[in-house]
Structures are given as structure tokens and as C-alpha cells.
Amino acid sequence: MSTARDPRPPNATPLSTRKIVFLVIAAAAPLAAMVGTVPLAFALGNGPGFPAMFVAAGVTLLCFSVGYAAMSRRIVNAGGFYTYLSCGLGRPVAVAGGLLAIVAYGAVAIGLAGAFGYFARLVAAAHGLDLPWEVWGAVGIGLTAALAYRRIDLNARVLAVLMVAEISILLVFDLAVLAHDGARALPLDALHPDSVLSGGIGVSLMFAYVSYIGFESAALYGEETRNPRRSVPVATYTSVVVITLFYALTSWIAVGAIGPDRVRQTAGEQLGNLFFALSDQYLNGFATTILQILLCTSLFAALLALHNAANRYLFALGRDRVLPAWLGRPHHRHGSPHRASAVLTGVTVVVMAAAALGGLDPYVDLAAGMLGLGTLGIIVLQAAAALAVVAFFRNRPDRHWWRTGLAPTLGLVGLVAAVVLLVANFPVLTGSQSLVINALPWLLVLAALLGLGHALWLRGTRPEVYESMAAVHLRSVTEEPPLRPPATRAPVGVE
């Protein structure tokens, strides 16, 4: 069987598996998760038992990843969830999922831009450079737009540096606590059922799932890799395992540093300052300053990674003419989805400007609301993708009882539970009692309904567009090895 010629321009360097891992882990923002999420889970959740929640969430997401990897070996497309849903659940559900993905990933990117502006202002002001958060937010958005316009391998190199830096500072903290406290740094009390199953376990599990957002984005870069059949599954597995081990270990050591019996109270008092106070105690002021700076770079890395994820959904739906076709045209030299990126940048600027003119707090109002909205949407998509895997392989000869049956089903159960927890505890997730902020999840319902309606409209009025939406995807999954979409479909990274 002949395969399609790889039509990348000579200067469009394919991504390696390692670079995809950097893109994916950067989206999860390990340092921001530790500083921002773990103290909340300590205070509002099951306290010293929280590290075990990372293990529980990691096992669930590994089950999800088994089915996700099985799909990625047969489907190579920048559409991610949109593509998988089209193959497993049909085109109307796929369009609904595609629009929902744009809203969800776009919301996370906007929230991260607000959080970056907020924390960059605090850190800079503490060192004598007091500028409004809007200025720092504009800097973050500008750098993101400039990098997203260029080749994806440049983005991967930048994210690699930032990710290594943020993980390194936390590893230094871990080692410092271990060296100072010895075995007390890893208290067995934190693993006892009385701790793990104590009050607030549902809230803790919710915060654990939140900390993984972005790990599923490896499939979005399938068209831009050397060997997507191998790179996407390996990058997905690697990301989940690394994130799980790192989060569980660092949060466990934090429990040991504080003391299991004092975790709830101390975290409730310190909240976002908890890890900075621990750094002062076990390292020194200079290390704490580095930690504060790297928190800002962690947020920027996540912003860049999630922006790249969102613009690939815009690109894929534009290429399929579900959205305006000009969105699906890559840059002639860089091969990037530059038009989709420009649209997302414009929307981010408009929302940030509206928040500033409205006097909203960039963290309490903008970041919390947008991150909560996006997180819920992405986990809904993960659950739908798990269902799509089961449906797609149900009658195929290459189905497997574990890889395409039980594992994605277990993942589906865990993800549905996460959705229920997020909906039930949305005010806890956002930290707001605002009726407007806590009504934001209805935007996801609206996006899904608009997607369904638009797909049905296309089926009735533009059947050629409707039929072509999944044609390339279906050819990809029925041939071995899977083909990249042909050059006429303008893949990402293709001139």
C-alpha cells in the first residue's frame, strides 16, 4: 500500500515525542498547580489524605489514556476530541464537541492570561516594579501571540526550558525537606484510610482532576510529528505518569513539612502563600524569589500551551468548513495555524479589556471564572471521548477487551464522576459566590446545542460539507498504518 508523501515545508521540523511531552506537561502547569490548587485541597478537602487523590485521578486518567491511545494509533488529525467524536459518536456530536472545545480551551487560555497578569504584577511590585496587571497581561498575550505565529517546534523548545525550570525548583524543595526531616517528610498517616477517606474527599478529587487539565492535548499535534502512531500514545502515557508521580510526591512531602495534624489549619491560613512560606523555612529567601518568578513563567507556559491547543481546534473546524474556511489555512512558511491563533488572541484581548474596564479582579473574577468554565468543559470532552472510544471499537475486528473496552469504560466512569463533582462544587472551584460566574457552565450547554444545530443545518443545506467532515478521518482509521490527511486538506505544518 502506498502512503501519502509528507508535504511539510523543509523548515517545518517535525515534533519529537519528547517535545510533545513538554507541550502537554506545560499545559498542566505543575508549579501553578502546586502553589494554587494543593493548598485549597488541603484546606477544603481531605487534608493530609489529598496526595492519594492524585494517585486515584492518575489511575483513572491512565485508563482513559489506554483507549485514547488506541484511537490515536488509527487517527492522525489536529482535531483532537472533535475528530474522535466524529468517528465514535457521529458528526453532529463531533461538531458540538468541537465548539465546546473551542470555548473550553479558549476560556482556560483567557483565565491563564488574567492569572499571569495578576501574579506578575505582585511579584514585580515586590521587587520595585509596580505596573498595572493589565500591562503584564498584555505582555503575556503578546508573547503568546508571537510564539504561536511561529513554528510549533520553537514553542516546544521554549516550553521545555520553562517546564524544566519549574519542576527543578520544586524538586529542590522536595530534596531540602527530605534532607532536613528524613522519614518524617513522608508521613504514613497521610496514606491511612482514615485520612484518605475523611470529609471533603469529593472536593479533593475534583481538585486532583483539575490539576491534569491539558494532558489530553497530545493528539492535537499528531499531524506535526515524525511518527504520530507512536509519539501520541507514548507522550500521553508519559505525561500522565510523570504528572501523577510528581504531584503525589510533592504534595505528600508538603504534608510532612507542615505536619499531618496541622495541614488543614495551616493551608487555610496560608492558601496561595503556603509553598512560599515552606520555601522560606526549608530553603531561603532567594529560592523563594525564584519560586515566585517561576510561578509566573509556569502560568505563561500553560497559557502558551493551551492557546496552541485552542487554535488547533479552530484550525480543524475551519479546514472542515464547519467554521469559516480561512481559519483552516496554515502559514505559508511556518506551517502554524496563524489565522486561528490571531482570532483567539483577539478574543482574549477583548475579554481582558472588558474585565479591566469593568473593574473586575483579574484573579478572583476573571481567572477563577474562566479556569472553572474551561476545566469543566475539558473534562466533559474527556468523558465524551472515552465513550467514543468504546463506541468506535465496539464492532471492529481490532477491538480488545482491555484497550478498547474495559479501560476506557473505567475512565468514563471516573470522568463522569469528576463532571458531577465539578458541577456540584463549581462555586468551590471558582471561589466565588457571584451568580454570573457560577452560571458560566451554561455557556458549555449553549456551545454544544449550537454545534448540534449547526451540524444538522449543514446536513440539510450543505451536504457536501457535512459528508466531508469525517471523510479523511474515516480513511485514516481504516488503513494500516494511518495516513496523514492528504495535502489538499492543508494539514498543520504544511505549506
Contact present, 403 and 66 (Cβ < 8 Å): yes
Domain count, the chain: 1
Contact present, 151 and 13 (Cβ < 8 Å): yes
| Residue 231 predicted with pLDDT over 90 | no
**C-alpha cell read off for 87:** 468517528
Give the span between the Cα atoms of 290 and 418, in whole angstroms: 34
In terms of pLDDT, which residue wins out, 9 or 49? 49
Confidence of residue 186 (pLDDT cuts 50, 70, 90): very high
Residue 74: strand, helix, or coil: coil
Give the span between the Cα atoms of 157 and 167, in whole angstroms: 16
Average pLDDT over residues 12-21: 79
| Residue 304 predicted with pLDDT over 80 | yes
CATH of the domain at 50: 1.20.1740.10
For 362, the domain range is 17-484
In terms of pLDDT, which residue wins out, 373 or 478? 373
Beta bridge partner(s), residue 15: 225
pLDDT of residue 484: 36
**458 inside domain:** yes
| Residue 472 predicted with pLDDT over 60 | no
Give the span between the Cα atoms of 393 and 14, in whole angstroms: 29
**489 inside domain:** no
pLDDT of residue 173: 94
Contact present, 22 and 172 (Cβ < 8 Å): no
Nearest partner of 46 among 245, 149, 157, 189, judged by Cα: 189
pLDDT of residue 23: 86
Average pLDDT over residues 390-412: 93
pLDDT of residue 489: 52
Q: Write out pLDDT tens, residues 85-123.
A: 999 999 999 999 999 999 999 999 999 999 999 999 999
Length of the chain, in residues: 495
Its pTM stands at: 0.89
Average pLDDT over residues 234-259: 93
Average pLDDT over residues 175-192: 92
**278 inside domain:** yes
- 319 Cβ partners below 8 Å, 6+ apart? 78, 325, 327, 328, 489, 490
Which contiguous run of DSSP H or E holds residue 27?
helix 17-28
Helices (H), 320-425: 338-357, 368-393, 407-424
Q: At what angle do helices 285-319 and 133-149 cross, to 10 degrees?
A: 50
284: left (phi over 0), alpha (psi -120 to 50) or beta: beta
